[in-house]
Structure 1
């Protein structure tokens, strides 16, 4: 066990709280009362404050204890400088646009970034740690190269410069996320006004500089305290805590924000509840004796679904009547997986895979309940939705949002002498391929890759597959029948870009090729397939910390210099801007 981890254990479990004067105004630390909390099928003992008066500055500092937080050179909001003409010069040999197909005049397009991957300043202004902050510091090699989120792009202090860059290039939308533990350092209790004001300032600055905000409430950065106290999304108490967090942010930002995402990719962050316990100690990622990975996975999904729907209900019943109509949904993460062949089992495998990925959240929200396939296969591992919950969840999205990066064929698992084949797998939860019982295929007949490969850090899942992107949109448009369709993220990591010179990294033709392929499919989706596609957001505004891959994997439209953190546009940034300049249908008055 590392020395850092040893220092963290006591603090994170609340065992080191003691009576002493806190540094907060007029508050004194008190012992936190041990409360026995009951969750379905499990009884746990968690250290939970009795009321918010027990949230103290000492308690906050104890959450950070043992973490040696790095700080950037700039630690106050930087005064921005206008971009020079040289910074806006396009590279040579830019693609030309020949298609006359158009997108609607009001099509939403821009770039995205997230708080944990770009903000840095993780302990500034009374922010509490997230589970990612803790794991980065406590687990050796948790991020590639032992990186942390401490500084990232320092977007917390450089946001004005970044917004000026968007305005200068003509990027009209910026999709950002809120750090839950900046607004509520412990995930619940009292609001941290400094943290909330930061986001008010960011939104106000965007509006003043002709950049329209899209806001996501949650992008994987769960407040560490909630994981400590009751297991985060493993416990139904997360629903109320998320709802109150959403209410506070809605009220603060709704005057200038009309497009909202409650959660980003619950399919992925719930999968972390399956995999993290394998390498993150229970002392810092407690799972309260839920030893079944699948029980953790689907309990997380169930609570995330209800938390999303509860937040949407607040938005519709409390926020829209006061601040006017908006749009709200959640961002899906799944890959379109057609059958490799026309065989019966491959076709069944494809449908099964889509039920367990797209259908997991899509069916309850758009069709009324979990897919029959999941219910029959998982049994008691999948919590049941009550009639009241079905009513809450049903149609709790104003548009369908799909983070659509890639696709690949699937086939039924081949027959194995010891375990059997596809049919045996479906009914045998001890089978190594259960519960989906499918095999993902990255090569197709003829021995060809399914599409151009991305960086090695993502090549196990990310290929350039524009045809499957279009098929996936059409399939889900017909399957779930939403009123509108939106792409909150799509993007590409160039092979070994982090090892390139600055000049080579900025001339990112492979990324341009990917973007061009997908954007031209969007033209067909609107004009040929008649999908009501209302927008698409490119990932990502800046080269950032790509989660477990650290900065070794790059998706950015801008190169970030390692020491100065100066941003420099890549070829893909100009291509992205130029594509929409050509293909957005202009009104006669423009």
Structure 2
């Protein structure tokens, strides 16, 4: 499953050279301009409007002529489950509803028990379910809507192309696009409760749950070949735990969604969990314990999490693995692992699901995991302390998961020596976890400039008090270089346009973990975009610069570092 590595020693030198500061004066030289400019000659001639503009239309994805399978169908795959789960349906928890009207209170998995979960959550500002209550039939996309935007004046100047097997597509997670959170049997997740009062809720969003057929048809008309989405655990298993019944409506929904993608000529990419952990893993947990390596309480540290997630994943895979070529187990687990136990549970659950997929189902698709990490680059690459700080930052962000999964190696020393309760994996565990990913998924939105904590990394790491805001990484994260310039053009959020650092980052991942790389998310929220008129939003120059520069560096990385890679646009 691995690809050959090309010119490792040369690539390492090139990656380092990208961030060295070479001081000079004046304007950039243009070595490609070897001929002197011609002397101008001035003359008059009759004027005419002669400017031409090429109008380009999107090329739609052709309808498929055959289908490929990657695993046995459900009728055979279900035999690999311990027991065949029962299926049932539930109703809706409607806006402003506070009372339970169902009368099946004796059924632990009945409508009353399901409604009770929503009653306990007490949704804030849940006032509408949106415009739709059933799946919308798609309408043809008018040709007038397939006119591509005018070509950017500054664009690629080379003749390089992506490999024919390059994976390029678009993505949207369930919590960000579906809506219908309390409808058709879905039960609560942490995202309905942990999002701050001042933040938009996921109750409605884009209503993709009902508009998916139209959305998929539009993507296919644009020429998109891969569509990545996530399946909410609580829409498949509202009561979450092993032995609880499966939501028949949820199973049918994603079965039809996957089939719709395939019928449109695209390929589905499915993520099993994208931040939307079932609420029951954190409900009643009013602990004020400070998270260590993680950022939010995603419930991964719950003692029942591993068995429950593996059970859920097996059910989903038994239904859909035959038609889906690429699977992601966890999205950016660091953000919601909360502590070392949570991270350890993620690694354990991921490995079990991977072995089920390849060893039991004998599936031939690809399965992996994807991480967040704003690539840490040393503030001054000539300063050994800054380099050490960047290495520590990157290994704590990635090595915690990637060392055992990709390399079969122990947790980084920085993890074991810093996090309370961190303990090394046994040789047996390392052997089981090693090589349980077919690609290295990364969401490299931007870079961050790193230098050591003022008191030094070691002293900082030993200070676990709440007052030490730099613990556990014990590095200073900035967005300016040593000369006071931002590292790139800023978005409305933390994202800066940092394409050259992206190429360096891909070199770091390739040379460190030596697996094919899936660039699984990147994007650029334009500043004050909501204040613009729709035509101005559609022209989208800042985001176009971001995408073009990132894709250009990904292409250079493929041609100069890797023979093949995977990429997915967010």
TM range (shorter): 0.7 to 0.9
In the alignment, the residues of structure 2 paired with residue 487 and residue 344 of structure 1 have an alpha-carbon distance, to the nearest angstrom, of 30
In the alignment, the residues of structure 1 paired with residue 158 and residue 448 of structure 2 have an alpha-carbon distance, to the nearest angstrom, of 27
Superposition deviation, residue 313 in structure 1: 1.3
User: Is this contact kept in 1: 2:163–2:564, CA < 8 A?
Assistant: no
In the alignment, the residues of structure 1 paired with residue 235 and residue 534 of structure 2 have an alpha-carbon distance, to the nearest angstrom, of 34
CA RMSD of aligned residues (A): 2.2
How does 1:39-50 map onto structure 2 within 5 Å? none
In the alignment, the residues of structure 1 paired with residue 364 and residue 140 of structure 2 have an alpha-carbon distance, to the nearest angstrom, of 35
Q: 2:510 aligns with which of 469, 474, 477?
A: 477
Superposition deviation, residue 86 in structure 1: 1.5
Pairing 1:371–2:412 present: yes
Q: Secondary structure at the match of 1:486?
A: strand
Q: 1:21 to 1:453 in 2, by over 3 A?
A: closer
Pairing 1:225–2:258 present: no
Aligned pair count? 451
In the alignment, the residues of structure 1 paired with residue 472 and residue 193 of structure 2 have an alpha-carbon distance, to the nearest angstrom, of 32
Q: Residues 70-94 of structure 1, C-alpha deviation per residue, up to 9 Å, x if partnerless?
A: 2111211001111111111223344
Structure 2 unaligned spans of 5+: 1-92, 286-297
In the alignment, the residues of structure 1 paired with residue 220 and residue 418 of structure 2 have an alpha-carbon distance, to the nearest angstrom, of 51
1:269 counterpart residue number: 336
In the alignment, the residues of structure 2 paired with residue 21 and residue 423 of structure 1 have an alpha-carbon distance, to the nearest angstrom, of 59
Superposition deviation, residue 134 in structure 1: 3.3
How does 1:22-171 map onto structure 2 within 5 Å? 22-23=102-103, 28-30=104-106, 54-65=108-119, 66-67=122-123, 68=126, 70-95=128-153, 96-135=155-194, 140-141=197-198, 143=199, 147-171=200-224
User: Is this contact kept in 2: 1:336–1:471, CA < 8 A?
Assistant: no
User: Is this contact kept in 2: 1:186–1:226, CA < 8 A?
Assistant: no
1:253 counterpart residue number: 320
Structure 1 unaligned spans of 5+: 1-10, 31-52, 274-296, 415-419, 540-590
In the alignment, the residues of structure 2 paired with residue 429 and residue 73 of structure 1 have an alpha-carbon distance, to the nearest angstrom, of 49
How does 1:198-237 map onto structure 2 within 5 Å? 198-228=253-283, 232-237=299-304
Pairing 1:313–2:355 present: yes
Structure in which a larger fraction of residues adopt helix = 1
Q: 1:344 to 1:134 in 2, by over 3 A?
A: closer
User: Is this contact kept in 2: 1:239–1:310, CA < 8 A?
Assistant: no
In the alignment, the residues of structure 2 paired with residue 362 and residue 127 of structure 1 have an alpha-carbon distance, to the nearest angstrom, of 32
Superposition deviation, residue 113 in structure 1: 0.2
In the alignment, the residues of structure 1 paired with residue 392 and residue 129 of structure 2 have an alpha-carbon distance, to the nearest angstrom, of 47
State TM-score, norm by structure 1. Answer: 0.73
Q: 2:463 aligns with which of 428, 447, 450?
A: 428
1:338 counterpart residue number: 377
1:410 counterpart residue number: 450
How does 1:531-550 map onto structure 2 within 5 Å? 531-539=562-570
User: Is this contact kept in 1: 2:168–2:566, CA < 8 A?
Assistant: yes
In the alignment, the residues of structure 1 paired with residue 548 and residue 513 of structure 2 have an alpha-carbon distance, to the nearest angstrom, of 27
In the alignment, the residues of structure 2 paired with residue 204 and residue 55 of structure 1 have an alpha-carbon distance, to the nearest angstrom, of 29
Superposition deviation, residue 269 in structure 1: 1.9
Q: 1:228 to 1:427 in 2, by over 3 A?
A: closer
State TM-score, norm by structure 2. Answer: 0.76
Q: 2:497 aligns with which of 449, 457, 464?
A: 464
2:553 counterpart residue number: 521
Structure number with greater Rg is 2
Q: 1:488 to 1:160 in 2, by over 3 A?
A: same
User: Is this contact kept in 2: 1:494–1:510, CA < 8 A?
Assistant: yes
Q: Secondary structure at the match of 1:355?
A: helix
Q: Secondary structure at the match of 1:101?
A: coil
Superposition deviation, residue 446 in structure 1: 2.3
Pairing 1:386–2:454 present: no
In the alignment, the residues of structure 2 paired with residue 299 and residue 532 of structure 1 have an alpha-carbon distance, to the nearest angstrom, of 37
Q: Secondary structure at the match of 1:78?
A: coil
Q: Secondary structure at the match of 1:337?
A: strand
Q: 1:348 to 1:94 in 2, by over 3 A?
A: closer
